[in-house]
Amino acid sequence: MSDIKVRTGIPEDVDGMMQLALAACEENGLTRPSPAKLLNEIWAGLNRDHGIVGVIGPVGGKLEAAILLRTEALWYSEDMTLVERAVFVDPEHRGAKIGRANMLCDFAKAAARGLGMPLVIGIITSDRAKGKVALYQRHFGPEQGAYWVYGTKTGAWKDEAR
């Protein structure tokens, strides 16, 4: 049995979360990341302020993977939903026998069940989209929509900054 587990992130995980978040933005961000905005979202989630973070890795150390979930009302409703902000597995751990992305999906479903809220989770990427869609279909069922991005592609901001 594996000792790899998803645990609820705590404030001591802030540095590891910021490293993962910046790496996720580097790979999939549509625009240049704002470390201050990232920190605000992550810090709130780590402190269970309208959100929760699931992490894989040692407390206060380098994290292997994480999911940031926030509770909010959708723009047209007062009802609360659990909304995924980011799911990211460090590239070093993507090919591992233990599927960290699967574990993060299970964490998200458990959080939604525990809170009694619907989960809104999606994929916005220009890289390996088909595999990610298949993973989400296995966990969450058929997709209920899609995204289109016009005028750029994920990760393109890095090339423009050079």
One CATH from 1.10.645.10, 2.40.10.480, 3.20.20.70, 3.40.630.30 for 7-161: 3.40.630.30
What's the order of all strands across the beta sheet hosting 51-56? 7-8, 51-56, 65-73, 80-89, 119-120
Domain boundaries, the chain: 7-161
pLDDT of amino acid 153 = 86
**Matching residue, tokens 């723009």:** 75
pLDDT of amino acid 154 = 85
pLDDT of amino acid 118 = 97
pLDDT of amino acid 162 = 57
Contact predicate 72/52, CB 8 Å: no
User: Residue 81 burial (CB < 10 Å; 0-12/13-18/19+)?
Assistant: middle
pLDDT of amino acid 95 = 81
- Residue 136: phi and psi, rounded to 5, are -65, -35
Read off the pLDDT of residues 16-37 as tens digits, 9 standing for 90 and up. Answer: 999 999 999 998 888 999 999 9
pLDDT of amino acid 8 = 98
pLDDT of amino acid 124 = 85
Task: List the chain pLDDT tens, one digit each, 162 residues.
Answer: 468 999 999 999 999 999 999 999 998 888 999 999 999 999 999 999 999 999 999 999 999 999 999 999 999 999 999 999 999 999 999 887 779 999 999 999 999 999 999 999 998 887 778 888 988 999 999 999 888 888 888 888 887 665
**pTM to 2 decimals?**
0.92
